[in-house]
């Protein structure tokens, strides 16, 4: 099952703050909803265990998350691969980081995910709604934490 | 105390045609059925399988270490361990081979990757969840039409470049076989000369039998005796025993397959599945019984599916509506392995019955099978080897032709039926139909439903803008596989056996090589024996499903039990009666030629009062024999039918369609079946009710669908629907009787007729309701959404 999303989020922080935030896996991980455990491999890679509920598919998924910042292009790429409970998720996302003014940064983002296994076959009907909610929560958390920095 | 023969008067002879209550029902009604999951053996372990989330992927690594740490988990096996036992791959019934556990790559979603053995079902499931498999996804082939594109990814790398398969040449690495029948040149010539020609593409979508009880087994290897006992939800326990012996190397006498009560099969429980092999290997390795019971999702996603035929038909006819020729091309999506359970000679099953009930002088059919990234299978779901697809194709096409000719579909059928005088009828595609009276059966159905009045009502409603349709299906089945000259599976001829033992006190035990799953054999076999031997039906017990005790047979599927084992039962009983006649003559103190079988007694010719019952003869068989005769009264009979049987029927469906919502309401459905001699009318009616309900489900509700990544979108009962009493229409049933001339009691089999015959009636009715809007065909399942879209496209926007 292929999912594609895009959107724009205004974060109440200047671009420097945003850059420093998203290059810190520790901080990025703290924005993941229902985070159970995280293991940092290096400054770009981490393994996060996250609680997931897609319809009747409920439990922990383990994700390899790679952050790939391209400051020269004002862009950050994120690759997430993993899964659990017999399901697999393969996600690629990118965000353009565009300063609006001293206090505001626009994240112009898009992402494509491929979901296989029960999360798609059994949870397919609610997957789209759940994925949107997950994305909204991640951005809400980021926005909140960045503005606190 | 000695048994008194005078007390042995049989009371309840209930032979053919009696609607007696089913002998097997009491134990089910009081919850005393004994299904596979009711069986628990001392020290038994449980098995759970690890499944692939991907439809096509390389396996880079399998890490079982975390699974083995879970309390209660005893072992995990993968393809590597199976390879050590020579069981990484097993042969399929169709001449292909299939992986037991994924060997290097997975070829369909939910494919079995590893098996976990544990002390409890829960621990096994936890263990399966803890097995870490690293995959590298590969491009997926979902659409069978794209499978043989030049740039299509090669699915079966194990046979890459091998351009000869079990059924002839392969033209692409994802091509399995091409099979054809009939004369192509003559058919094309006849089509070219036809005044009217119609062409239609139609899809019989992939569906699944979805028995309420999923598949399962217990492997129990006794290391002390070397004997393997396998309890299994199997419709064909003897064939399974032979296959197990061939693939494991265990001598067949050291294998006992016990098939306990089965909660529905519909063909789903014929093949050998990877789970069975793993449970047996687990028992051999671990020295303990191992139970495996599928989950609902495992059943729907990995075991034998049905249909998935993509068909193109062309029919020629005269302007007056007399058919001249038909040509068919079909693309068959067989999934990742060719594991269809067809007779060896017939890779497309009995699809060449697609000329149906009509007198086609020329016909040609070609079927091509391809590999895709879907689960293997292809024959199951209450279908005699592709007869369902064939019947749907011709019955739907006859309506398309009627529409083209602007002729009433009943009239078109009546004009083209094979006539009673033409039987035995050799069809253009090579079958010899045994008997039939199609016109009579259709006329009974037309009268019963009030066809002429319905057509008037339809015209009136149409004038008012209301949507009402009438659909007819006058199908011919082909069942009873089969005659040994043509039919075998893995070389084993498809006859079936019956054993009858009559006890001294006039009771009997009867065993057959078949295995019922709700068909009522415990009653119908007893009725055949009661009819032939004059014994009390309540004193005849029927046993099936234990290979140690039952005679060999190929099992119950494809409506074959009555045509094969039913014949064995009747002829075995008659063999017993021959011996009984000699004993009767001895008791009556006359010569054997002076004794005749009248009214289920042995009577002295010309002296009606002088007679003995079979009970008295049975007693004498153990107590008072003619000098020199072998004691006892029993036999085993193997019946090799001389031909298949060809049941038929006329089904008429009336639908009303809601223009606003697209909802189709089946207002009436009349089903007149002709299955030859009827053994138990109540059981036949029950079979017809069940089959019609399944046909209704296929027509309106069921499809195993996939997305582009090969995700199975029908993996549970919220997405793959079973009709309940709420949706199911009221069925009006009836019958005509045209006995099979070659079957010992004239019976033909009925289990599959309603699933075979009804889908076309439903679809024809819906299309008939919409025909004036320019609609010519709609593929199943005809969901509300589909009809709504068709209506909107046709410009219907008023409610």
Q: How large is the ipTM? A: 0.89
Among candidate residues B382, B413, B511, B560, the one labeled active-site is B382
In this predicted structure, which of A126-135, B23-32, B80-89, B152-161 has the lowest mean pLDDT?
A126-135
Q: Which of B483, B484, B514 is nearest to B498 (CA)?
A: B514
Q: What is the pLDDT of residues B471-509, one digit of tens each?
A: 999 999 999 998 999 999 888 999 999 999 999 999 999
**Average pLDDT of the residues of chain A:** 90
Tell me if B635 sits within 8 A of B646, measured CB to CB.
no
Average the pLDDT over B590-609 and give the result: 95
DSSP-derived 3-state class of residue B600: coil
Beta bridge partners of B596: B603
pLDDT of residue B6: 46
Q: Is the pLDDT of residue B8 over 80?
A: no
Tell me if B277 sits within 8 A of B91, measured CB to CB.
no
pLDDT of residue B2: 52
Q: Is the pLDDT of residue B449 over 50?
A: yes
B206 is catalytic: no
* Contact criterion met (CB < 8 Å) for A116 and B711: yes
- What percent of chain B has a predicted confidence (pLDDT) above 90? 95
Please state, in angstroms and rounded to a whole number, the distance separating the CA atoms of residues B515 and B29: 20
- List B residues 300-329 in contact with A (Cβ-Cβ < 8 A): 301
| Pairing assessment for the beta strands B595-598 and B601-604 based on DSSP bridges | antiparallel
Q: Give the chain A residue whose CA is nearest to the CA of B53.
A: A117
* Contact criterion met (CB < 8 Å) for B137 and A90: yes
Q: How far is CA B409 from CA B415, B469, B471, B517, in A?
A: 10, 12, 8, 37
Could you tell me how many residues make up chain B?
799
Q: Give buried/exposed letters for B723-750 (b at 16+ CB in 10 A, else e).
A: eeeeeebebebbbbebbbebbbbbbbbb
The answer to whether B719 contacts chain A (CB < 8 Å) is yes
Tell me if A88 sits within 8 A of B26, measured CB to CB.
no
Q: How far is CA B167 from CA B170, B338, B346, in A?
A: 9, 11, 9
- List A residues 7-46 in contact with B (Cβ-Cβ < 8 A): none
Q: How far is CA B432 from CA B423, B425, B473, in A?
A: 8, 5, 21
Average the pLDDT over B182-195 and give the result: 98
Please state, in angstroms and rounded to a whole number, the distance separating the CA atoms of residues B624 and B618: 10
Please state, in angstroms and rounded to a whole number, the distance separating the CA atoms of residues B699 and B721: 12
Average the pLDDT over B661-676 and give the result: 98
pLDDT of residue B4: 55
Please report how many Cα atoms fall inside a 13 Å half-sphere around the Cα of residue B450, on the Cβ side.
8
Provide φ and ψ at B252, rounded to 5°: -60, -30
Higher pLDDT, B740 or A141: B740
The answer to whether B711 contacts chain A (CB < 8 Å) is yes
Could you tell me how many residues make up chain A?
149
Instruction: Starting at the earlier edge strand, list the strands of the sheet with B57-63.
Output: B105-106, B57-63, B132-137
Average the pLDDT over A11-21 and give the result: 89
Dmax over CA atoms of chain B, in Å, equals 89
* Contact criterion met (CB < 8 Å) for A120 and B711: yes
Beta bridge partners of B221: B228
B383 is catalytic: yes
Q: How far is CA B292 from CA B121, B200, B221, in A?
A: 9, 45, 15
Tell me if B527 sits within 8 A of B680, measured CB to CB.
yes
Average the pLDDT over B72-77 and give the result: 98
pLDDT of residue B481: 92
Among candidate residues B14, B111, B235, B702, the one labeled active-site is B235
Please state, in angstroms and rounded to a whole number, the distance separating the CA atoms of residues B98 and B90: 5
pLDDT of residue B378: 81
pLDDT of residue B7: 53
- Is domain A2-148 given the CATH code 3.30.530.20 in the classification? yes
Domain architecture of chain B: domains with CATH: 5-33+496-546+558-639 (3.30.365.10), 36-138+215-293 (3.90.1170.50), 388-479+645-793 (3.30.365.10)
Burial class (CB in 10 A: 0-12, 13-18, 19+), B162: exposed
In this predicted structure, which of A23-37, B114-128, B647-661 has the lowest mean pLDDT?
A23-37
Three-state helix/strand/coil letters over B408-467? CHHHHHHHHECCHHHCCEECCCCCEECCCCHHHHHHHHHHHHCHHHHHHHHHHHHHCCCE
Q: Which of B711, B716, B707 is nearest to B109 (CA)?
A: B711
Average the pLDDT over B430-442 and give the result: 98
- pLDDT level of residue A149 (50, 70, 90 thresholds): low
Q: Is the pLDDT of residue B214 over 50?
A: yes
Q: Is the pLDDT of residue B1 over 80?
A: no
**Tokens encoding A79:** 């690759």
- pLDDT level of residue A53 (50, 70, 90 thresholds): confident
Q: Is the pLDDT of residue B528 over 80?
A: yes
Please state, in angstroms and rounded to a whole number, the distance separating the CA atoms of residues A123 and A84: 13
Q: Is the pLDDT of residue B64 over 70?
A: yes
- What percent of chain B has a predicted confidence (pLDDT) above 70? 99
CB-closest option in A83, A85, A121 to B713: A121
Average the pLDDT over B132-153 and give the result: 97
Helix, strand, coil tally for chain B in percent (to 5)? 30, 25, 45
Please state, in angstroms and rounded to a whole number, the distance separating the CA atoms of residues B552 and B391: 31
Positions of E strands within B88-131: 89-91, 97-99, 105-106, 112-118
Please state, in angstroms and rounded to a whole number, the distance separating the CA atoms of residues B120 and B112: 20
Q: Is the pLDDT of residue B369 over 90?
A: yes
- The nearest CA of chain B is from the CA of A84 a distance in Å of 8
Please state, in angstroms and rounded to a whole number, the distance separating the CA atoms of residues A121 and A47: 25
**Average pLDDT of the residues of chain B:** 96
B235 is catalytic: yes
Q: Is the pLDDT of residue A11 over 90?
A: no
CB-closest option in A2, A117, A124 to B53: A117
DSSP-derived 3-state class of residue B291: strand
Average the pLDDT over B551-559 and give the result: 95
Average the pLDDT over B368-389 and give the result: 93
Q: Which of B476, B312, B481, B313 is nearest to B391 (CA)?
A: B476
Q: What is the pLDDT of residues B766-799, one digit of tens each?
A: 999 999 999 999 999 999 999 999 999 999 977 6
Please state, in angstroms and rounded to a whole number, the distance separating the CA atoms of residues B485 and B640: 9
């Amino acid at each position: 099952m292929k999912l594609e999303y895009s959107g724009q989020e205004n974060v109440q922080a200047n671009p420097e703050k945003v850059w420093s935030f998203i290059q810190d896996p520790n901080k990025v991980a703290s924005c993941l909803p229902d985070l159970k455990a995280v293991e940092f491999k290096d400054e770009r890679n981490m393994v996060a265990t996250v609680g997931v509920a897609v319809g009747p598919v409920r439990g922990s998924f383990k994700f390899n998350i790679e952050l790939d910042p391209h400051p020269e292009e004002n862009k950050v790429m994120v690759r997430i691969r993993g899964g659990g409970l017999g399901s697999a998720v393969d996600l690629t996302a990118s965000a353009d980081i565009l300063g609006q003014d001293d206090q505001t940064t626009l994240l112009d983002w898009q992402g494509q995910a491929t979901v296989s296994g029960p999360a798609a076959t059994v949870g397919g009907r609610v997957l789209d709604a759940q994925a949107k909610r997950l994305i909204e929560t991640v951005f809400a958390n980021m926005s909140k934490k960045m503005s606190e920095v | 105390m000695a048994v008194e023969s005078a007390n042995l008067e049989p009371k309840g002879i209930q032979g053919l045609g009696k609607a007696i209550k089913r002998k097997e029902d009491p134990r089910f009604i009081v919850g005393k059925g004994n299904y596979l999951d009711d069986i628990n053996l001392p020290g038994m372990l449980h098995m759970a399988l690890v499944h692939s989330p991907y439809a096509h992927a390389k396996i880079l690594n399998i890490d079982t270490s975390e699974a083995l740490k879970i309390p209660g988990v005893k072992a995990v096996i993968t393809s590597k361990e199976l390879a050590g036992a020579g069981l990484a791959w097993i042969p399929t019934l169709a001449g292909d081979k299939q992986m037991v556990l994924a060997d290097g790559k997975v070829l369909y979603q939910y494919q079995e990757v590893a098996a976990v053995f544990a002390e409890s079902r829960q621990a096994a499931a936890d263990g399966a969840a803890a097995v870490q498999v690293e995959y590298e996804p590969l491009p997926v082939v979902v659409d069978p039409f794209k499978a043989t594109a030049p740039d299509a990814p090669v699915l079966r790398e194990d046979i890459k470049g091998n351009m000869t398969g079990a059924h002839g040449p392969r033209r692409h690495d994802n091509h399995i076989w091409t099979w054809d029948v009939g004369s192509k040149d003559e058919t094309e010539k006849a089509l070219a000369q036809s005044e009217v020609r119609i062409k239609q593409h139609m899809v019989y979508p992939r569906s699944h039998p979805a028995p309420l009880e999923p598949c399962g087994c217990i492997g129990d290897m006794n290391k002390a005796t070397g004997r393997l006992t396998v309890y299994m939800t199997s419709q064909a326990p003897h064939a399974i025993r032979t296959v197990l012996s061939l693939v494991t190397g265990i001598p067949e006498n050291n294998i006992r397959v016990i098939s306990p009560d089965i909660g529905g099969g519909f063909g789903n429980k014929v093949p050998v599945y990877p789970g069975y092999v793993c449970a047996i290997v687990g028992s051999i390795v671990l020295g303990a019984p191992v139970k495996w019971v599928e989950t609902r999702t495992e059943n729907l996603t990995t075991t034998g599916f049905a249909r998935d035929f993509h068909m193109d038909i062309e029919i020629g006819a005269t302007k007056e509506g007399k058919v001249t020729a038909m040509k068919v091309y079909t693309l068959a999506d067989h999934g990742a392995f060719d594991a269809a359970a067809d007779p060896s000679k017939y890779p497309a099953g009995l699809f060449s019955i697609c000329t149906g009930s009509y007198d086609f002088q020329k016909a040609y059919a070609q079927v091509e099978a391809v590999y895709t990234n879907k689960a293997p299978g292809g024959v199951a779901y209450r279908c005699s080897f592709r007869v369902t697809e064939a019947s749907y194709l011709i019955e739907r096409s006859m309506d398309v032709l009627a529409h083209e000719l602007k002729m009433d579909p009943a009239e078109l059928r009546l004009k083209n039926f094979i006539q009673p005088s033409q039987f035995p009828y050799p069809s253009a595609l090579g079958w010899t139909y045994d008997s039939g009276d199609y016109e009579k059966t259709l006329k009974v159905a037309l009268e019963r439903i009030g066809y002429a009045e319905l057509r008037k009502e339809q015209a009136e409603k149409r004038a008012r803008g209301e949507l009402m349709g009438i659909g007819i299906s006058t199908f011919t089945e082909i069942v009873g596989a089969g005659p040994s000259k043509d039919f075998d599976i893995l070389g084993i001829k498809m006859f079936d056996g019956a054993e009858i033992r009559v006890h001294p006190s006039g009771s009997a035990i009867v065993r057959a090589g078949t295995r019922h799953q709700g068909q009522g054999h415990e009653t119908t076999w007893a009725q055949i024996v009661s009819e032939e031997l004059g014994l009390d039906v309540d004193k005849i017990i029927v046993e099936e499903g234990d290979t140690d005790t039952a005679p060999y047979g190929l099992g119950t599927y494809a409506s074959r039990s009555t045509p094969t084992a039913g014949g064995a039962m009747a002829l075995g009983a008659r063999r017993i009666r021959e011996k009984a006649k000699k004993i009767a003559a001895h008791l009556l103190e006359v010569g054997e030629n002076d004794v005749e079988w009248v009214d289920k007694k042995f009577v002295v010719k010309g002296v009606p009062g002088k007679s003995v019952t079979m009970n008295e003869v049975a007693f004498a068989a153990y107590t008072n024999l003619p000098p020199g005769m072998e004691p006892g009264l029993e036999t085993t009979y193997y019946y090799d039918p001389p031909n298949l049987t060809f049941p038929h029927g006329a089904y008429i469906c009336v639908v009303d369609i809601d223009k606003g919502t697209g909802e189709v309401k089946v207002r009436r459905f009349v089903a007149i079946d002709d299955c030859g001699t009827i053994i138990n009318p109540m059981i036949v009616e029950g079979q017809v009710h069940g089959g019609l309900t399944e046909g209704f489900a296929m027509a309106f509700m069921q499809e195993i669908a996939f997305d582009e990544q090969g995700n199975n979108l029908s993996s549970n009962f919220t997405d793959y629907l079973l009709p309940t009493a709420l949706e199911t229409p009221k069925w009006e049933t009836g019958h005509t009787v045209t006995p099979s001339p070659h079957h010992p009691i004239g019976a033909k089999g009925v289990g599959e007729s309603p699933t075979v015959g009804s889908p076309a009636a439903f679809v024809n009715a819906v299309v008939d309701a919409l025909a004036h809007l320019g609609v010519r065909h709609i593929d199943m399942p005809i969901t509300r959404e589909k009809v709504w879209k068709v209506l909107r496209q046709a410009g219907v926007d008023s409610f």
